[in-house]
Amino acid sequence: MKKATFPAILSTSIVCFLFWLLITGQIVAIFRGAPSVQVLIAGAVVSVCTALFSARYFIHSKAFYLFNPVKLLVLVFYSCFVFLWELTRANVDVARRALSPRLPVNPGIVKVPVDLQSEYAQAMLANSITLTPGTITMDMARENGQLYYYIHWIDVASDDPVQAGESIKGTLEKWIGRIWK
């Protein structure tokens, strides 16, 4: 098993600590000038401990890659706008199908080509597809150098892998590619 490097531990600690600040509400308290010192210390300790045990699983190379302001802004834009838009569209589609029994439901598994090279990008796309209602990424396979996802889709509109991929992935793959290039 790969050992965690100091930069990997440090960057994982920073990300964990920022997440800690977010979920405990300390970010608002810091801006108000009244953070809880005990919560900050506990967050730092938990973040470092978490990083010591998990950094080797999360960071493979380039530990501070997402600390690049441009990449971070693209990630925030993707999360807040692109993914949220695709998520909303998928929710409305599934809700329409659930509330209108006359709308067709044609479930099936489709093979979709993926052009992302980074493992992080591939995982992010697979998770984004799975998080949108009506689709589940079931498997990833490499055939003749091309990566394919096998996706269960609530309404298979096309058996053609490229057309199915365009319908399912939408703009997700393009934006994720921008983050992880």
- Rounded to 5 degrees, what angle do the CA atoms 102, 104, 152 make? 145
Give the pLDDT band of residue 2 (cuts 50, 70, 90): confident
Q: Where are the domains of the chain?
A: 6-66, 69-179
For residue 108, give the nearest of 144, 60, 161 by alpha carbon.
161
CA distance 65 to 60: 11
Cβ–Cβ < 8 Å for 146, 94? no
| pLDDT above 60: residue 1 | no
The model carries a pTM of 0.81
Mean pLDDT of 2-30: 90
d(CA 178, CA 75): 9
Tokens found for residue 77? 């834009």
Q: Please say if the pLDDT value at position 26 is more than 70.
A: yes
Q: pLDDT (tens digit, 9 = 90+) per residue, 82-98?
A: 999 999 999 999 999 89
Express as a percent the part of the chain with pLDDT over 70.
99
